[in-house]
């Protein structure tokens, strides 16, 4: 963009882009916190599971009814 004639960079495009960026960052933070409280997002998942030998996953049917948990282990 050329700002030589304007003297300011507060254009409508930049303001709209900043508002959308702030919105997406805020909703992403809320989503991450919500996943953490629901138990679907743990510290072990942050590190790719390198510290956990077994992983537990929740299994749901097509009506979102919980069918239980399944423990899976990886062998190196």
* 38 belongs to a structural domain: yes
Q: What DSSP state is assigned to residue 19?
A: H
For the stretch 43-69, pLDDT in tens is 666 666 555 567 788 889 999 898 898
pTM above 0.75, yes or no: no
2 in a structural domain: no
Q: Is residue 72 part of a domain?
A: no
Distance CA 37, CA 29 (A): 13
Mind giving me the DSSP string for 20-75?
A: HHHHHHHHHHHHHHHHHHTTSS-HHHHTTTSS-SEEEEEEE-TT--EEEEEEEE--
> Does 32 score more than 70 pLDDT?
yes
- Residue 25 in any domain: the answer is yes
Which structural domain, as residue segments, surrounds residue 38? 9-45
Confidence category of residue 76, pLDDT binned at 50, 70, 90: very low
Coil, helix or strand at residue 10: coil
The total number of structural domains in the chain stands at: 1
In a domain, residue 76? The reply is no
């Amino acid at each position: 963009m050329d700002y030589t004639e304007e003297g300011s960079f507060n254009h409508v495009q930049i303001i709209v882009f900043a508002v959308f960026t702030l919105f997406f960052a805020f909703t992403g933070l809320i989503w991450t916190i919500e996943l953490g409280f629901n138990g679907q997002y743990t510290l072990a998942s942050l590190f790719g599971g390198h510290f956990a030998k077994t992983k537990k996953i929740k299994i749901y049917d097509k009506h979102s009814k919980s069918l239980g948990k399944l423990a899976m282990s990886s062998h190196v």
